[in-house]
Amino acid sequence: MALSKTIVDDKGQITQYHKISAVGIIYIDGQERIDLNIASYANEDYRLTEKEVGLNKVLNNIGVSLSLTNEDFSRANLYARIKNEVETFLDAVDC
């Protein structure tokens, strides 16, 4: 599971395939949060090459912080929350 959306960063790098690479629960300023790292690739082919060959093909890492809720922490639920709560990914689609 991953998200598809074309994102151009401030350096002009274009990424189209975004996958959660790390999840952590943190406590900051009296609030519990879920911190996510989203690895961004040029496209899905780069991710598949990374898996097959073992070379790091990540072009960018995006940090996302969500409020901690009583919902489950499945990847499907986290991706749904990212698409609904993170402005950068509001029009992303599942892939």
What would the pLDDT profile of 37-62 be if each residue is shown by its tens digit? 999 999 999 999 888 888 888 999 99
Does residue 95 belong to any structural domain of this protein? no
Does residue 52 belong to any structural domain of this protein? yes
Does residue 74 belong to any structural domain of this protein? yes
What lies within 8 Å, CB to CB, of 13 at 6+ separation is 59, 60
**CA-CA distance, 46 to 55, in Å (whole number)?**
9
Split into its structural domains, the chain has a count of 1
Give the per-residue pLDDT at 61: 95
pTM of this structure: 0.90
Does residue 67 belong to any structural domain of this protein? yes
Provide the 8-state DSSP code for 13. -
Q: Which domain holds residue 12?
A: 3-90
Does residue 36 belong to any structural domain of this protein? yes
pLDDT of 72 > 90? The answer is: no
Give the per-residue pLDDT at 23: 95
pLDDT of 87 > 90? The answer is: yes
Does residue 12 belong to any structural domain of this protein? yes
